[in-house]
Each structure stands twice: as structure tokens, then as C-alpha cells.
Amino acid sequence: MSLDLDSLLQDWPHEAGAIKVRKIKGLDGREKLQLRIDLGLLQMEMDGRPDGQRPHNCESCLVYHQRRAIRAAAKGEEYELTTEQCGELQQEGIQYYHRYLSLFQIEEFEGVIRDTQRNLDLCTFVEEHSNREELVWSFQQFRPYVLMMNTRARASLLLGDGKFSEAIREIEAGRERIVEFFQHSAFPELEAKSSEIAFLDEWLEEVRAKRPLTKLEVMEREMERAIQGERYERAAELRDAIRQFKAKPL
């Protein structure tokens, strides 16, 4: 069997600026996720660690260190990560980044939420178990982006169900989490330059513009138009209707 990948790559050409993702059935019968990149393609498992490995017989390096930290705490001991261990955790985090980015492209938002939360947990774990600020920041610098993607996935699920108001609240909450991160970081000035906040602000306006009006909002707008058109009798009718509507128990 030839090991040359040319036939695979030619059948699925790379496009600059485009993220191309597909699901395939592996030889083991399980679904796999493939991401096309400029020099080839990445293949990932749908669950567990993306490369299918089980370091130290655990689901991931993060799970392995989390378990060790719990055992150390039970003994009253501190658990501190070495530079090499942080490097391994960072490389593992990149695997999950590739997968949640790919899952987002095919709108499998539940998987995006799972993997982004996993990388958020990774950032928190390193912060709690490393005393080296430069190592901690090498993880934390990506928290705004991961928070944004987590927010996008959560809000997209709500929008898919037509829950515009809930989606708006989710986007607002995600934005606030990013702002809070910057305000408590060593670089609060980065908030003003955050592309993640800028994106969520723009998306928030788009979602608000597309949100269907409630019955109350329709009546309020009609009343405003009636007043502007000097149709005061109609405006009074709408005012009374609005009062009755607001007085109804929820």
C-alpha cells in the first residue's frame, strides 16, 4: 500500500482562508473528524483526546494531573507543575483547539462547548498549580478566545431553537466574562484592543436586529407611530391595551 497522500489531498484541495472540515468513518467503525490544512490534513477522534492516545492510562494529560493534584491535596501537599509538564499540557490543548474549531464549522455546537470548557479548565488548572507567571500567561492569553468560542456555541444552540432573548443574554454574559478576565489580569489595557469583545459586540447587534418583536413591543411601536401621526384616539386605545397586558400575571 502506498503511503503517498497525494490522491487524498488532490480530491480535497486546500483553499486559502477557508476552514474545510468533514466527518469520515474510520477503519475501526467510529466517526472521525478531518481538518484540511495547507500541507495536508489532520484526523481527530470525536471523543476523548483528539489523537486517540491515553497518556498514563487517562483520557488526557490534564485528567492525569488533575487526579495527581487531588491525591496531593488529600495528603496536605502542594502540587506544582514543571515547565516540561506545562509544555505537554499546552500541546494537548492545541489538539482540542483544532477539534473545537472543526466542530464549530460543521455546527456540532455541543462538542464545541465540551472542548472549549475543557481548555478553560486547563487554563484554570495551570494557574492554580504553577508559580511561574510567564507559564501561566502562556495559557491565560488564550482565555478570551476560548470564552468567545464557548459563547458562540452556546448562543448558536439557542438561536437554532429560535430563543433570541436567551441567546442575547448568553452573548452579553460571555462578553462580561471576557471583560472580567482582562480587568483581573496583569494587562487590563488589552480589553480596549480585544478582537473577541469587538466580535461579540457586532454579533450582539446583529442578533438584536433579527430578534422578532414581542406582542408588547409591537403594541408600543404602533402607539409611538400613532402619536407621531397625531392619531391620539388610537394611541389612547393602545396605551390602555399595553397597561392591561403588563398587568397580566406572568
**Rounded Cα–Cα distance for residues 83 and 75 (Å):** 23
With a cut of 50, list the residues of the chain below it in pLDDT.
none
The string of DSSP codes covering 154-202 is HHHHHHHTT-HHHHHHHHHHHHHHHHHHHHTSS-GGGGGG-HHHHHHHH
**Rounded Cα–Cα distance for residues 195 and 144 (Å):** 9
Q: What is the pLDDT of residue 116?
A: 98
C-alpha cell at 193: 484592543
CA angle 118–122–127, rounded 5-degree value = 150
Q: What is the pLDDT of residue 195?
A: 97
pTM of the model: 0.85
For the chain, give every domain's residue range. 60-210, 215-247
Report how far apart, in Å, the C-alpha atoms of 101 and of each of 2, 115, 121, 122, 226 are: 31, 9, 17, 17, 49
